Structure 1
């Protein structure tokens, strides 16, 4: 029996998941896409394929675009802000240079994936394929059945939008982890004044409770509002709550567990050493995390 394209599937599984996850922002849907790619690859004789990587990437991209277009309608009726599902990145693949590692971490951060939501599906696909996965515009054009010029125009528009909308947060991992430790200490003891001092004046808090009724859905801004909310969360938290710092989406991140199960993920972003953005993710968005 002739070999199918599926014989190359495992080699490119991480790439296919990484692309689908960045396109969709949900690990569960990305896994579905990867499985669909495998099923389709089984039907394609490898002798008919010139470039297995490009062929599999094309399938994953087109499936992700179809899924993203249908998901956009669901997100319009979503209760509260929509944030990506966090994923564990403790064992990221070894890369050859610190620059490559930085690009990988940056392109999978919750803040960056949230920013990608503002792009059209085509802009998102072209931006990721070119900027993150290093495909040429000619190759992308073949994948999406668009001209080289059209891909360049959409890619340029996406880059401009990202550049103008992107906040510049502190990125030193050691400083970031120290900030998280301080965050946990002041919240644990209920130090309202100490927590207030950690925040920028225009700090923003975005909660995503999985679109469930009863979850917090309001975006809060300002030191007083954010501090009061976090202290209120502390008082209402389960008594068996445990906090630890884990690597989620390429960054040290606070994970709160209750009875050993993920309860809340807290993503913190700083500017000049003070917290400028807090993202809280809870509910079904954490169902796939295995800690």
Structure 2
């Protein structure tokens, strides 16, 4: 039974970071994750918790089910989204030690790269939930059965199917932090020095660029395929502005990336997926709704805000 000496609010506060971590991985944006966290709290505060043996399990189960419902509602919106949809980044300055909040620290403690969250968009809501809880949080098939309301055998099949779909695009070996930092720096240096050959040298020949403007700002409406086309894209857009872009290194979901700014005003947030020692995917977040929180965390204004 739940200890009677601790209030429901104190118990929820103690587990809030874990609830946020699950919600953010499921829905892919901080604002939607916070909606799930708030709804989980409302259900917890209104529940008879006297016989709850594990508050953490109760809260994670509730958040997971709410996350599935939330994903189902979001699916239609994302299918109608203008251009590629990318997750909302969680950022911190390049030299920061802890991330800004306990929720973000937990959210970034394990594998939660922009690349993985982008891949998970291909999964159905129950597949995504089962995969994340099993792979990222070590929930066993019995736990998944209770959360999803399915048999253990069905949960095993769901996780196996999701793992196959993700592994088709996921590199066999993750890039080391040093390799990630080296390539992010090489990419940024090539842009600053206006060196197309150096930029090409950092990219896989089959690299893909995704640009998320959400219909709010100018962005490529389709992915751009190939190192040569990506290079021409970057140098094409940077030459259209009356002053050079300012490039500042940051950490995006725990990995090196950078901001593109005009003066101090942030225009874009750029992150990478590394494969076999080269950049395989480039992600440019431009939608103001998704980068406003990041700009605030960095103490910088958004371009045009």
- Using structure 1 for the length normalisation, give the TM-score: 0.88
For the Cα contact (< 8 Å) 2:186–2:198, is it kept in 1? no
| Distance across 2 between alignment mates of 1:131 and 1:193 | 39
Of the three residues 13, 16, 38, the one matched with 2:19 is 16
> What SS does the aligned partner of 2:189 have?
helix
Contact 1:265 1:282 in 2 (8 A): yes
- 2:238 is matched with which residue? 234
Paired positions, count: 283
TM-score relative to the length of structure 2: 0.84
Which residue is equivalent to 1:73? 76
Secondary structure in structure 2 of the residue aligned to 1:18? helix
Q: CA deviation at 1:213?
A: 5.8
8 A contact 2:171–2:275 mirrored in 1: no
CA distance in 2, matches of 1:206, 1:189: 23
Aligned to 2:290: 285
- Match for residue 97 of structure 1? none
**Are 1:144 and 2:140 counterparts?**
no
Which residue is 1:119 aligned to? 123
Deviation at 1:46, TM superposition (A): 3.4
- Asked if residue 184 in structure 1 is aligned to residue 194 in structure 2, the reply is no
**Aligned in 2, Cα 1:121/1:200: closer, same or farther, shift over 3 Å?**
same
Select which of 84, 87, 98 maps to 2:87: 84
3-state SS of 1:108 partner:
coil
Q: Distance in 2 between matches of 1:288 and 1:255?
A: 13
Counterpart in 1 of 2:303? none
Conserved? CA contact 2:238–2:245, under 8 Å? no
> Larger helix proportion, structure 1 or 2?
1
In structure 2, runs of 5+ residues without a counterpart are 299-305
Range with greater deviation from structure 2 (157-166 or 117-126): 157-166
1:160 aligns with 2:164: yes
Question: Could you tell me which of 221, 226, 238 is aligned with 1:222?
Answer: 226
Distance 2:78 2:38 in 1: 24
Q: State the Cα distance separating 1:51 from its structure 2 match.
A: 0.8
Note the aligned Cα RMSD (angstroms). 2.6
SS across alignment from 2:161: helix
Alpha carbons of structure 1 residues 247 and 157: separation in structure 2 relative to 1, 3 Å: same
Where in structure 2 are the equivalents of 1:98-137 lying within 5 Å? 107-137=111-141
Alignment match, 2:29: 26
Greater CA drift, 166-175 or 117-126: 166-175
